A and B are shown apart, each in its own frame.
Chain A
């Protein structure tokens, strides 16, 4: 009996067009389909399963411009075998791609609002597509503020692009945990930036990505500024294997992070985050 296997589990080979060093352990790859076709349309916040032949797959947020269909961009940090192999992939080599998967930042649903983006560490990667979307439609949003926290200045992502964002009337504020000589900006946790921004909580929406502890304190600070939990969105991570809601690994309470997330509203998540080891 002929039967196709799970198509969403079938990886397509993509060609590495560019592999650009961001920091000591992080690289941004541009991937194009091997037959020259457009990449599938995707939305900010979604991810792909990137595959290294023989090594396996990992979920990586898409970090590029959603308006571009000629390639797909991912910023990858080398922390394990597969991510390390992806970071070392030379232009011209093949990386497997499966996706896009997951829920998106509701940026289109919040036009006319103020937008606060808070990124910790590599969290800026899944937020960059939101910036592209906002910049392409700047007039549709009010004040837009991007708060970025990083460990040290040398591992700040996309530093050279920040001037471009500022030119599009995005208030970009950066802070590091530990400074280096010549650092002129803030030193301190990204939470400390939140009391300092101008914010109309009645029409602000916030998107937060970073380590879970950081998100916890950032959300607290935003709630203290009056942003309600149903206008607070976070991107969650859990162990992912299939990315299509079958394997059960990525569950957080009732949510499958691969299909109900990774972007979830804080009001949905709050009762589950309050319980340890859930």
Chain B
């Protein structure tokens, strides 16, 4: 679990201030949670004061509200609408520039200027989501160089959850709330009985090096137990559950289950779920020309399987109905993803449930299909 288990440390509640200093000194652009327009988003943070200090989020199907807490928790919320794919797999990426020449054109691949990034406040579910996206962009016959470069450079600071939201189900998906591996540093915010400190563990050599600048003392058994207690609280509060045994075959044999009609009647095909989902990777490729017509740019932009254009071919659409698209999204996420990438596409973060305007709940849909396994009639 821990790379250096006997070297867990404890720091004061303002240690993120020193963390940001240490990372900025090393040239990282620090991305972390901050409050903006009523939500906790991931943006560049420059000081500890940018954190959502004293805020929590109330989430449920189709509901998200920030609330003030009665303490100064730095990370007292679960997850917001954004995920780290915004930085590793950006919403818009310039792929190619081309210029007309007298006898044709010249095309070049411009260099990516962004980063290196330090991600502050990565939840276990999101850490798993990064690992899931790694399989898409790094493990296939082709590698996405933008993703690869940003991913390899990214310094990851996990913050383990001390509470869970009503749409969380990382326990069911075996992706949290405790982050196990794949981070540089892992923080657990210990907040109980007037005590407010952070337990800090290093997960890599560079993490260990940064930890050295955080004014820490060695953790005692009590500290470790207190941190464990925080995480157990999150485990106990899980808002949703999903039974995942045999889920791939369950969905494969229920492609014509009438439950799809039921969910299709509610789904607005708005694509919110695909935008907030930390593992969704669909994109489109667009050619854009300037007014002279002599310069073009090829851009990659986020796309969604809920659009009609997604499955357009030969003057028609293969998935013309909301039903076929919802089914595509859900069976891809939970079933065909396993055949494609040897892992589920879902990490139980609950964002799709929270951000669906009509509160469609993926865990409920799976449950309904299990209960009507084998039914036909769609």
Residue ranges of A at the interface with B (Cβ–Cβ < 8 Å): 1-13, 15, 34, 53-57, 79, 92-94, 96, 237-239, 241-242, 244-249, 251, 253-254, 256, 259, 271, 275-278
Asked if residues B103 and A92 are in contact (CB atoms below 8 Å), the reply is: yes
Smallest Cβ distance from B103 to chain A, in angstroms? 7
Grouping DSSP codes into helix (H, G, I), strand (E, B) and loop, the B interface class, with mixed when no group exceeds half, is mixed
Asked if residues A53 and B149 are in contact (CB atoms below 8 Å), the reply is: no
16 inter-chain pairs at a CB distance below 8 angstroms, sorted by A residue, are A4-B109, A5-B94, A5-B146, A6-B142, A10-B96, A11-B298, A53-B105, A53-B296, A54-B287, A54-B296, A56-B287, A237-B313, A247-B300, A249-B282, A275-B256, A277-B323
The contact of B105 among A7, A94, A271, A276, by CB within 8 Å, is A94
Q: How many residues of B contact A (CB 8 A)?
A: 66
The contact of B145 among A3, A242, A276, by CB within 8 Å, is A3
Asked if residues A248 and B111 are in contact (CB atoms below 8 Å), the reply is: no
Asked if residues B100 and A53 are in contact (CB atoms below 8 Å), the reply is: yes
Q: Is B35 an interface residue (CB 8 A)?
A: no
Total A-B residue contacts, Cβ distance less than 8 Å: 158
6 tightest CB-CB pairs across the interface, nearest first? A94-B104, A3-B149, A277-B324, A248-B282, A254-B339, A254-B336
List residues of chain A with CB within 8 A of the CB of B262: none
User: Which partner residue on chain A sits nearest B100 by CB separation?
Assistant: A53
A22 to B256, CA, bound (A): 44
| Contact A248 to B149, CB < 8 A, known contacts A7-B109, A12-B107, A277-B319 | no
Asked if residues B106 and A244 are in contact (CB atoms below 8 Å), the reply is: no
Of B41-49, B61-69, B168-176, B303-311, the segment with at least 4 beta carbons within 8 Å of chain A is: B303-311
List residues of chain B with CB within 8 A of the CB of A244: 140-142
Asked if residues B144 and A277 are in contact (CB atoms below 8 Å), the reply is: no
Asked if residues A247 and B285 are in contact (CB atoms below 8 Å), the reply is: yes
Q: Is B112 an interface residue (CB 8 A)?
A: yes
User: Which partner residue on chain A sits nearest B105 by CB separation?
Assistant: A53
A148 to B31, CA, bound (A): 59
Of B113-121, B207-215, B231-239, the segment with at least 4 beta carbons within 8 Å of chain A is: B113-121
A237 to B315, CA, bound (A): 13
List residues of chain B with CB within 8 A of the CB of A96: 98, 105, 107
Q: Which residues of B, 246-282, contact A by the 8 Å Cβ criterion?
A: 252, 255-256, 281-282
List residues of chain B with CB within 8 A of the CB of A7: 109, 145
| Contact A5 to B283, CB < 8 A, known contacts A54-B296, A275-B256 | no
Q: Is B218 an interface residue (CB 8 A)?
A: no
Residue ranges of B at the interface with A (Cβ–Cβ < 8 Å): 93-96, 98, 100, 103-116, 136-137, 140-142, 144-146, 148-150, 153, 252, 255-256, 281-285, 287, 289, 293, 296, 298, 300, 303, 305, 309-314, 318-321, 323-324, 327-328, 332, 336, 339-340
Asked if residues B285 and A5 are in contact (CB atoms below 8 Å), the reply is: no
List residues of chain A with CB within 8 A of the CB of B95: 5-6, 9-10
List residues of chain B with CB within 8 A of the CB of A278: 255, 318-319, 324, 327-328
Asked if residues B285 and A259 are in contact (CB atoms below 8 Å), the reply is: no
A246 to B281, CA, bound (A): 7
A247 to B328, CA, bound (A): 15
List residues of chain B with CB within 8 A of the CB of A254: 336, 339-340
Asked if residues A9 and B96 are in contact (CB atoms below 8 Å), the reply is: yes
| Contact A3 to B150, CB < 8 A, known contacts A10-B109, A245-B142, A278-B324 | yes
Asked if residues B145 and A54 are in contact (CB atoms below 8 Å), the reply is: no
Asked if residues A15 and B104 are in contact (CB atoms below 8 Å), the reply is: yes
A253 to B328, CA, bound (A): 8
Smallest Cβ distance from B235 to chain A, in angstroms? 32
List residues of chain A with CB within 8 A of the CB of B332: 251
